[in-house]
Structure 1
Amino acid sequence: MKSVNGMEHKKVLVLGLAKSGVAAAELLHKMGAFVTVNDAKPFEENIDAQRLLQKGITVICGRHPEDLLDEGFELVVKNPGIPYTNILVADAVKRGIPIWTEIELAYLISEAPMIGITGSNGKTTTTTLLYHILNQGGLNPLIAGNIGTVACSVTENATADNVVVTELSSFQLMGTERFKPKIAIWTNLYEAHIDYHGSMEEYSNAKFAVTRNQDASDYLIYNADQEVVVSYANKSHAHKVPFTTKGINYLGISADDDMIYWLGKPFIKRSIIALPGQHNLENVLVAVAAAIIMDCPKDKIEHVLSSFTGVKHRTQFVREWQSRKIFNDSKATNTLATRSALAAFKQPIVLLAGGLDRGHSFEELRPHMGNVHAVVVAGETAKRFAEFAESCGVEKIAYADDMESGVKQAADLSNEGDVILLSPACASWDQYPTFEVRGDKFIEAAMKL
């Protein structure tokens, strides 16, 4: 772990606990900072706060005192989920106090080079795929960030022989100042999290932080098929590596119907790729580009591409049942993700959809509903999604109270050769605490068929 000048005796407020807050507080304490933790959960219910107090860290729980910053804090490290409208965060902005997420700490202490992966969709699949490729290639990767272990906990123990593959949300990137990954990856950019950022411009600017501090010794792998991403990439000082699925590009990585090309030269046949879907081709391209930059052997890249079938809850193949293939895409919490899932299959589809009603339209799914011959709806959006499906010409529509009845009805509505697909196009919180729980319930029901 690198030492960070100026952190000893610095007065730091860690705002919000959960995994990232606990890790940041413990790390700052080890670095000699005077740490105060503030969390909304009452102390008597807050096991994390109790444990931090035993380590000598000051803990304030159950409320966010409006005058807390009067105590002279020089730095705020906040949980990524806490918005900038929070009273203490807004006060810190007004006072000019730096506001970080633990990603900044992770970078500052890391002896290992970091790969930062962001985008509106595809981050987790890309991160996981790249990790497996680098691992197969003997490059000692560690996986961190918005997937798996908190980044500063990973980099605390990383050495120069490792490489840290880090999934990064816009929430995390917004709290960085000097973060400078060796390789930055920007998969795509679509409207999302406007309730947090306030505008598409602010959301886009937060994503740009993945490459903002890079220089010519670093690499930016970016989506050349999206003009908005290209416009931001043009502002980067990194060595630029565009990717495209629309034919050969001589400056980066690209693909046509038959082949993946590196700098315009044939590199790998597409026929070996096990991961289904056009949207996943983009994830493959960026992972392969990063692996090439990291000098990973070609045969190791090919080996992983031929065996990697996806990440749990992300167009995950569950099982084959009576000549039907069942897929779990519970991570599809918006219409964009469901659109990608529908486009991944040429077979007839029985779709399970619905969930938390945020009032968003399902219209962008319409061009991709042609293969959907039956729909099972559930949750707060059940009636709206059923009406939408009916307007698309779907004749078989069923309502489900829970996942087990939903899977049974989907099976009853299906035919041999069909795909039974959970891709809700909605968040899970009306019925399930997380999309992972929703997906696990789907898998459990599917295995009972």
Structure 2
Amino acid sequence: MAGVLGDRALLDSVGHVGRLRDRSLLRRLPVKGGPGVNERERVGRVGGEKGGRTGRTSGGEWSGRRVLVVGLGASGFAAARALASLDAKVKVTEGATSEVIEERARRLRLEGVEVTTAGHDTEVVDADVAVVSPGIPPHATVMTHLASAGIEVISEVELAFALARCDFVAVTGTNGKTTTTSLLASMLSESGLHALAAGNIGLPLIDAVFEVPDDGVVAVEVSSFQLAGIREFRPRVAVLLNIAEDHTDWHGSFDNYIASKARIAINQSSDDVFVVNSDDDAAMSVSEGVASRVVPFSGSSVPDNGLGWDGDGLVWRGREVLTADRVPLAGAAGREDVAAAAGAALEYGVDVDAVRRAVESFQPLRHRLEVVARAGGVTYINDSKATNPHATLAATKGLRDVVLIAGGRAKGIDLSALRATVPPVVAVVALGEASNEVARAFVGLVEVTAVGSMHEAVGVASAKAIPGGSVLLSPACASLDMYESYAQRGEAFSRAVRAILSEQPEGE
């Protein structure tokens, strides 16, 4: 995987072949050797004059352009409204229908936007550019029609970048993106900057760029789907947390997935910073081909020219930033997320005290190693956001005597990597479409019990748990076989825990 960002051809989101480092990608970058994110710009970015901004498109350049928006999810809706406000000729096509979708369609029609729902209008190919929602795979029929028509395809993230005047600090990776992005935004805000968290985290990036002033900054969570549709998107600081097998059903192969993640740094120059996990071989291989300055981070050591944990202290440039007892995030994964966010913030120009204050006041996010109850010496943990084996393995680190609830929709991922969770996993409860695959992963290691509902899963797990141990929902799979989202699955787990514990006799 060395040289992922070298001069090699990659397929973009509609199958077009293009060269990374193509001159069109570089035409708006500043001259090399100009002011960088660090040192010379540090004073200007936090509490002083703005410096070194890259000029991008004006809204007027979209007036009269024919734009097809594919998908009417949150990002598609935001993109369509923004484009309509810029006097673009907007059409929207959406394959599904629901109350939410039809309400969005109604609002767009009031703004003069032509909208088709309940089936993609594949005849609508008379567009200059298509803005495609991240959930639509490259092999979808509407995408092949766009490819055949030679229409340029971009993501909402790329559109937002073209319109923004503020800086972006971007985070990607297989696991930990949302926590790291949220924490990073808190650090930026704590320093006095006008900062927002946006992107794959919930708030569409296109909405954020209209809220943040020119001298502000957006902490952007970007998925592999969104990165597949970028052309000139250039974060001043890019963070790559980790890479493990995920979404192979969408990308077609693990190599394609890695290549998509690597695109976060494709347009960076030597003035920019690439923060990367030195403990992750796949992530480090990506760093070998970037043009930006590489800053490694670690959850277990202090890498050269980077930052990481020396025992219970997070160290950067020889200085202790904070201590582990001030970190409100659980386990080894929490340490990695803190190190990554701190590395990005410090390299952007945030001072150490602001980083420390942000970490100490941070509230852990729902469904991510969330402790929902403690009873009878057993801790019940909701990690519903863990939708691949890598996330589940990270969740079990630092725990003991774990009864694991796993399963769901496997997304084409090999679940055999779950074997590495033993120990500390001592028993498994398998749930959902992939329950047989989960069971096969643990053959000969621990007992696996297959169940049909979350309530049953929690009941079985609770009966098997021992004092000092944990019942951990960390499914290693997507939720869509039984639930609308990982959040709904996590809520089902929390309700089941409360119900099961209320049924237990006092003293148990």
Tell me the TM-score normalized by structure 1: 0.91
Structure-2 change in CA distance of 1:444 and 1:258 (3 Å): same
Farther off after superposition, 180-189 or 221-230: 221-230
- Distance, in Å, in 2 between the alignment partners of 1:2 and 1:156 is 14
Corresponding residue for residue 362 of structure 1: 415
Over the matched positions of the two proteins, sequence identity in percent amounts to 33
- Contact 1:319/1:327 (<8 A) preserved: yes
Give the counterpart letter for 1:60 in structure 2.
T
Aligned to 2:265, what secondary structure does the other structure show? coil
Aligned to 1:210, what secondary structure does the other structure show? helix
Corresponding residue for residue 13 of structure 2: none
- Distance, in Å, in 1 between the alignment partners of 2:291 and 2:270 is 6
Corresponding residue for residue 204 of structure 1: 258
- Distance, in Å, in 2 between the alignment partners of 1:317 and 1:300 is 27
Structure-2 change in CA distance of 1:238 and 1:67 (3 Å): same
Give the CA deviation at 1:205.
2.2
- Are 2:391 and 1:337 equivalent residues in the alignment? yes
- Distance, in Å, in 2 between the alignment partners of 1:140 and 1:262 is 24
Aligned to 2:59, what secondary structure does the other structure show? coil
Question: What does 1:371-382 correspond to in 2, within 5 Å?
Answer: 371-382=424-435
Corresponding residue for residue 17 of structure 1: 72
Aligned counterpart for 1:225 among listed residues 279, 297, 313: 279
- Distance, in Å, in 1 between the alignment partners of 2:278 and 2:218 is 25
Corresponding residue for residue 301 of structure 1: 355
- Contact 2:372/2:382 (<8 A) preserved: yes
RMSD: 2.4
Corresponding residue for residue 492 of structure 2: 441
- Are 2:401 and 1:348 equivalent residues in the alignment? yes
- Distance, in Å, in 2 between the alignment partners of 1:97 and 1:328 is 43
Structure-2 change in CA distance of 1:419 and 1:308 (3 Å): farther
Deviations 1:85-127 (A, max 9, x none): 2333223334432211111121122232111111111111111
- Distance, in Å, in 1 between the alignment partners of 2:260 and 2:123 is 28
Structure-2 change in CA distance of 1:225 and 1:399 (3 Å): closer
Farther off after superposition, 196-205 or 104-113: 196-205
Give the CA deviation at 1:309.
5.9
Aligned counterpart for 2:188 among listed residues 131, 134, 150: 134
Farther off after superposition, 352-361 or 401-410: 352-361
- Are 2:469 and 1:418 equivalent residues in the alignment? yes
Corresponding residue for residue 304 of structure 2: 250
- Distance, in Å, in 1 between the alignment partners of 2:300 and 2:460 is 39
- Are 2:31 and 1:4 equivalent residues in the alignment? no
- Contact 1:254/1:264 (<8 A) preserved: no
- Are 2:456 and 1:401 equivalent residues in the alignment? no
Aligned counterpart for 2:328 among listed residues 274, 298, 310: 274
Question: What does 1:80-95 correspond to in 2, within 5 Å?
Answer: 80-95=134-149
Give the CA deviation at 1:12.
0.9
Give the CA deviation at 1:2.
7.1
- Are 2:475 and 1:428 equivalent residues in the alignment? no
Aligned to 1:446, what secondary structure does the other structure show? helix
Aligned to 1:176, what secondary structure does the other structure show? coil
Q: Which runs of 5+ in 1 are unaligned?
A: none
- Contact 2:403/2:426 (<8 A) preserved: yes
Aligned to 2:269, what secondary structure does the other structure show? coil
- Are 2:372 and 1:318 equivalent residues in the alignment? yes
Structure-2 change in CA distance of 1:64 and 1:382 (3 Å): closer
- Distance, in Å, in 2 between the alignment partners of 1:89 and 1:168 is 21
Question: What does 1:15-54 correspond to in 2, within 5 Å?
Answer: 15-41=70-96, 46-54=102-110
- Contact 1:248/1:264 (<8 A) preserved: no
Aligned counterpart for 1:164 among listed residues 194, 215, 218: 218
Structure-2 change in CA distance of 1:303 and 1:157 (3 Å): closer
- Distance, in Å, in 2 between the alignment partners of 1:344 and 1:47 is 46
Structure-2 change in CA distance of 1:58 and 1:288 (3 Å): same
Give the CA deviation at 1:166.
0.9
Greater RCO, 1 or 2 (C-alpha within 8 Å, sep 6+): 2
Give the CA deviation at 1:384.
4.4
Corresponding residue for residue 227 of structure 2: 173
Give the CA deviation at 1:262.
1.2
Deviations 1:73-92 (A, max 9, x none): 11111111112223332233
Number of aligned positions between the proteins: 444
Structure-2 change in CA distance of 1:265 and 1:413 (3 Å): same
Aligned to 2:238, what secondary structure does the other structure show? strand
Structure-2 change in CA distance of 1:228 and 1:339 (3 Å): closer
Give the counterpart letter for 2:468 in structure 1.
G
Corresponding residue for residue 30 of structure 2: none
- Contact 2:416/2:440 (<8 A) preserved: no
Give the counterpart letter for 2:376 in structure 1.
Q
- Distance, in Å, in 1 between the alignment partners of 2:146 and 2:433 is 38
Aligned to 1:376, what secondary structure does the other structure show? strand
- Distance, in Å, in 2 between the alignment partners of 1:319 and 1:307 is 22
Give the counterpart letter for 1:403 in structure 2.
M
- Distance, in Å, in 2 between the alignment partners of 1:360 and 1:36 is 35
- Contact 1:248/1:256 (<8 A) preserved: yes
Structure-2 change in CA distance of 1:245 and 1:2 (3 Å): same
Give the CA deviation at 1:43.
9.8
Give the CA deviation at 1:147.
0.8
